[in-house]
Structure 1
Amino acid sequence: MNLGLILICSALALKAELPEEPAPGSQLRSMDVVLDCNYIEEAVGGFSSAFGGSFSSDPATLVLRGVSITDDGSLDSVTNYEVPETSADSTSPIIFEVSVTLVPIPYAESLLHADCAGEEVTCEISPYTLHLADEGSSQASWFMGTLKLSSGISIALVLKVSSDREEDERMAVLHPRLKVPVSQAGTVLTTVEFQLSSRTPTLRSRLGSSVTLDCSFALAPSSPLASLEWRLQHRGSGRRVFHYQAGGMAHTEPPTAHVDVEQLLETGDASLSLHEVGVGDEGTYICLVSTSQHQAQHIIQLQLVEPPRVRLFPELVSREGDGTATLTCEISGYYPLDVSVKWTREAPDNKDKVPISVSDTYFSSHREAQDGTYSINSYLSINTATELGPVTFSCHVSHLALEEPITASAQLRAPEPKTFKGLVGAVIATLIFLSALIGLVFRRRKTVDLKSEDALKTSG
């Protein structure tokens, strides 16, 4: 971290300790944003195959000159970047000086304060081939810069090489490695002609919700917008979601997708809105912005999730004699497919009071509903003959949509104790029942005898 960044971080840390109040004196200040990068290009004569080529990577520096940054007084001690004095040979560092006069840099403050915020910035620069190149144009005079912050911000910059020399370009000094004109200080002077940015490289959303896939761009006045296209790739197949051609009408494939064309043309906001997303909307979205010469894209992953509903039955199991009982853990309505189920047993005789995992379980097959969600049942067999005390059995369900597992429990009721009073009561109840039964038999027999005597008297 250089001295300028140390001073910035110190000022920001001091500001964070003070009560937050509006800063009426805040104004925009022109600052240099300096990033450590890697220069990536295909190695000449390197090994290549059907699976890809060989690439080289070398340290490089990207200097964004004159970026507008909001200054509340914390940037007073920061000085602009000075090019180090080095010999211009193939081993010297590659320094790209970038002018932002034609196209502004988005999220500039996040890039400047990334170290203070504890963010990581990944920067790569590589040669760029024009989308539709004019005959005779130099392909080596264009580069693509890709910046990614760990917070999710992604920026693509199309850089055009310029020169500060008045003499003929053929007489200009060339970079020993890149073979493009360099400044008197040995740096590669470039201008941003096209930038594309997004702050949502990955989105996770519930089924039925609405989401916005962020994509914005800015173009130099000489490169007007030619087209915008959104595509969806999922499980080996792809389809167009939205397409706009300059001067024509916008075409949207699913009715739930929308791009505000007015904002697209006025502010460069190419964000795609999806309403009531379903399983079929999940996948990799590509925001592709094109001019007559340039083309850049951002890839955004949309992942849909739905938490499971869990029910365990029966909730109470009685121990009526010896035998077995089966507990059913019903898990339904979840997406994606992967779900984890764990069973535990907890009894008063557990010395460490920690539930014990049980393994006498089995599963049903997965079932898929019409909305694309899944269901499954998990079963636990209990030997009621060996469970002599009250026991709690629990089904723990983990899923991608859950921060913590869902737990459902069932109780195994202990057998009723056979006390002395209980035995006496049972004996007395049995004697009463027998006495009543014997009395009933004698009364019926006496009635039969009386009827027999009356019958004899009548016949005599």
Structure 2
Amino acid sequence: MIQELLFFCGLLGLHAGSTNDRTATPPFRTVDIVLECSYLGEAPKGLLGAFGGSFSKDLATLVLRDVSVRDDGSLGEATHYKVPWKSAGSSSRIIFEASAPSVSIPHAEALLHADCSGEKVNCEISPYNFQQHGKGPCPASWFMGTLRLSRGISIALVLRGPHCSGEQADKSDAILHPKLRIPVSEKGTVLTTVELQSSSCNTSLRTHLGGLVTLDCHFALAPSSLLSSLEWRRQHRGSGRRLFRYQAGSTGPRVEPKVHVDLPQLLGNGDASLKLQEVNVEDEGTYMCLVSTPQHQIQHVIQLQVAEPPRVRVIPEQVSFKRDVTTTLTCDIAGYYPLDVSVSWTQKTAEDEAEITLSSIRFSSHQQSQDGTYSITSYLSISSATVQAPATYSCHVSHVALEEPISVSAYLKAPEKTGSEGLVGGFIATVIFSIVLFIVLRRKRTDQKFEAASSISRAYHYSLLLDPLSE
């Protein structure tokens, strides 16, 4: 199926140098989107097809025909996908051709360029048995197509397959799929139409306390289908409750506090998104958007996680080194959710090239506040016998709500001289100064006496020279 995988990737570069006006809104055009899928058969009957039990897995291809997308100039001379000619039983791969004449395909651009951009698409097709249509050997067939993109987008498609009467099944020229036992085209493909689609652009969300979060859910119906109900449910730790329900023909929706669904948008353009206000830890859980018609039901599952970053401080921020004294630094971590948090201490002195991780730390037990957040305290003991000052001690905290760890430091100052040490030092300095001064003065007096004696001697010898008989 390399042809299907690379069909549009080769077209993206044909007009990369187009000189179209980039400021204008790109026009729409229709293209075929080809997706590699798996077909899960022999599934138990249920609302959403195959979700357990024994099943078989076959290779499949889903061709979404004539999907409208914006042409930004990179599509080139795109042509429709051509199904390789083969008989119905010549290949184990099941090819589904799906047309959507009146139901738009959501996130079509993302699906079209998925292989070229390196995004992964998980596609599964399974029998859909919410309500059986027709009777006989080959009644009306329905399939559920589930598409999940790696960026978090999920799309569900209800596909109406071909059907045949008992007389058609008995005809020798009837072409039935060898595995599905339903009519196929001359090329062996299963021809279907999209009757209902629903999508969500966020299968998982993370939000802070007290904020506003929107859980995305959109849908579109074929003209032959009508919305019968929309429901939002929440499940967490084995318990669940209904948050919102709209029933067609009712006087108004049933809604829980803090929850809002725009009813005009819901009925006007299929926007069933739920807004959740003033989020707290009790709002965490699994949210389900269920869109129902009289014949079908689709649900989307969104995981909502509350993540609040911690507040960190170190006490004291600055401490003086004292001999024979053990100092304890305290790192307070408070206001975080969920519970898991990682705390470490490091030391850095002037002689260290890098921070040194310390292991002699202690922790208090976790405490939970009224708003559901947690706190913990970490202690680091500094012994004057084993540390050098000055030094910096840092408390590092990692948490799921933090993009990078928080580091808060305390500074250990060099030892200061005490009062007695100052007196002793001053006395010693005075004694040394006195001794040096005494030596200097004594040496000066000796030099003066020697100079005087030398002067007298020189005067006596000079007088003898003048009067040699005077002796």
TM-score band w.r.t. shorter chain: 0.7 to 0.9
- Taking only the aligned residue pairs, the percentage that are identical comes to 58
Match of 1:136 in 2: 135
Q: Secondary structure at the match of 1:265?
A: helix
Q: Secondary structure at the match of 1:262?
A: helix
TM-score (norm 2): 0.82
Match of 2:407 in 1: 407
Measured after TM superposition, the shift of residue 305 of structure 1 is: 0.8
Match of 1:59 in 2: 59
The correspondence of residues 304-383 of structure 1 with structure 2, limited to 5 A, is 304-350=306-352, 353-383=353-383
Measured after TM superposition, the shift of residue 360 of structure 1 is: 0.9
Match of 1:154 in 2: 154
Match of 1:281 in 2: 283
Change (3 A) 1:342 1:243: same
Match of 1:89 in 2: 89
Q: Secondary structure at the match of 1:116?
A: helix
> Counterpart of 2:79 in structure 1: which amino acid?
T
- Work out the CA distance in 2 between the residues paired with 1:331 and 1:274: 28
Measured after TM superposition, the shift of residue 427 of structure 1 is: 6.2
Match of 1:240 in 2: 242
- Work out the CA distance in 2 between the residues paired with 1:169 and 1:76: 44
Q: Secondary structure at the match of 1:162?
A: coil
- Work out the CA distance in 2 between the residues paired with 1:319 and 1:74: 69
Measured after TM superposition, the shift of residue 227 of structure 1 is: 0.5
Q: Secondary structure at the match of 1:276?
A: coil
The correspondence of residues 24-63 of structure 1 with structure 2, limited to 5 A, is 26-42=26-42, 53-63=53-63
Match for residue 178 of structure 2 among 163, 176, 179 = 176
> Counterpart of 2:192 in structure 1: which amino acid?
T
- Work out the CA distance in 1 between the residues paired with 2:381 and 2:21: 61
Give deviations 1:417-445, integer Å, cap 9, x for gaps: 6999874425699xxxxxxxxxxxxxxxx
Match of 1:78 in 2: 78
- Work out the CA distance in 2 between the residues paired with 1:139 and 1:19: 50
Q: Secondary structure at the match of 2:268?
A: helix
Q: Secondary structure at the match of 1:111?
A: helix
Measured after TM superposition, the shift of residue 73 of structure 1 is: 4.0
- Work out the CA distance in 2 between the residues paired with 1:157 and 1:143: 8
Match for residue 268 of structure 1 among 267, 270, 277 = 270
Extract unaligned runs of 5+ from structure 2.
Answer: 45-50, 431-471
Give deviations 1:345-383, integer Å, cap 9, x for gaps: 111222xx1111111111111111111111110011111
Change (3 A) 1:12 1:236: farther
Give deviations 1:163-186, integer Å, cap 9, x for gaps: 699x94553311001111101111
Q: Secondary structure at the match of 1:185?
A: coil
Bigger mean CA offset, 380-389 vs 273-282:
380-389
Measured after TM superposition, the shift of residue 121 of structure 1 is: 1.2
> Counterpart of 1:203 in structure 2: which amino acid?
L
Q: How many residues align?
A: 416
Measured after TM superposition, the shift of residue 30 of structure 1 is: 1.9
Match for residue 5 of structure 1 among 5, 8, 19 = 8
Match of 1:390 in 2: 390
Alpha-carbon contact 1:23-1:72 (below 8 Å) kept: no
- Work out the CA distance in 2 between the residues paired with 1:234 and 1:140: 38
Match of 2:127 in 1: 127
Measured after TM superposition, the shift of residue 12 of structure 1 is: 6.8
- Work out the CA distance in 2 between the residues paired with 1:170 and 1:382: 91
Q: Secondary structure at the match of 1:129?
A: coil
TM-score (norm 1): 0.84
Q: Secondary structure at the match of 1:37?
A: strand
RMSD value, Cα: 2.7
- Work out the CA distance in 2 between the residues paired with 1:12 and 1:364: 64
> Counterpart of 2:268 in structure 1: which amino acid?
E
- Work out the CA distance in 1 between the residues paired with 2:139 and 2:326: 78
Measured after TM superposition, the shift of residue 391 of structure 1 is: 1.5
1:22 matched to 2:13: no
Alpha-carbon contact 1:86-1:92 (below 8 Å) kept: no
Match for residue 257 of structure 1 among 259, 270, 281 = 259
Change (3 A) 1:181 1:408: same
- Work out the CA distance in 1 between the residues paired with 2:140 and 2:392: 72
Alpha-carbon contact 2:145-2:158 (below 8 Å) kept: yes
Extract unaligned runs of 5+ from structure 1.
Answer: 45-50, 430-460
- Work out the CA distance in 1 between the residues paired with 2:75 and 2:259: 43
- Work out the CA distance in 2 between the residues paired with 1:20 and 1:359: 63
Give deviations 1:27-84, integer Å, cap 9, x for gaps: 322211111111112379xxxxxx9533322111101111112224433421111111
Change (3 A) 1:204 1:11: farther
- Work out the CA distance in 2 between the residues paired with 1:79 and 1:348: 69
Alpha-carbon contact 2:342-2:399 (below 8 Å) kept: yes
Alpha-carbon contact 2:64-2:98 (below 8 Å) kept: yes
Measured after TM superposition, the shift of residue 107 of structure 1 is: 1.2
